[in-house]
Structure 1
């Protein structure tokens, strides 16, 4: 996900309940939690531009 804050605003605007708003975790990723209609957890993840996962040599 490119921008967790924008995704949160869009989802709220569509009536989706946000279980946990975007939070930058100690490991550097931004996570937001929602649930599907059956209650299955869904984690949306933003990888910041300066995070090591953005650099993948050989790919």
Structure 2
């Protein structure tokens, strides 16, 4: 998992991965200057993955 890999490399994990009420898996990290960065995973069953005709 990305969480373990990033934590193992010393990345500042601001908030571990959580499944949000809107259905996305979000994890927050910080760059070396402290700027927050959100990493988002869209689960396979989430409506954002649905593309008609694709």
Q: Do the structures match in fold with TM over 0.5?
A: yes
Over the residues paired in the alignment, what is the CA RMSD in angstroms?
Answer: 1.1
Higher relative contact order (CA 8 A, sep 6+): 1
Q: Match of 1:10?
A: 5
Q: List, as ranges, runs of 4+ consecutive aligned residues in structure 1 with deviation greater than 2 Å.
A: none
Q: TM-score, normalised by structure 2?
A: 0.91
> Structure 1: 5+ residue runs without aligned partners?
1-5
TM-score, with normalisation over the residues of structure 1?
A: 0.84
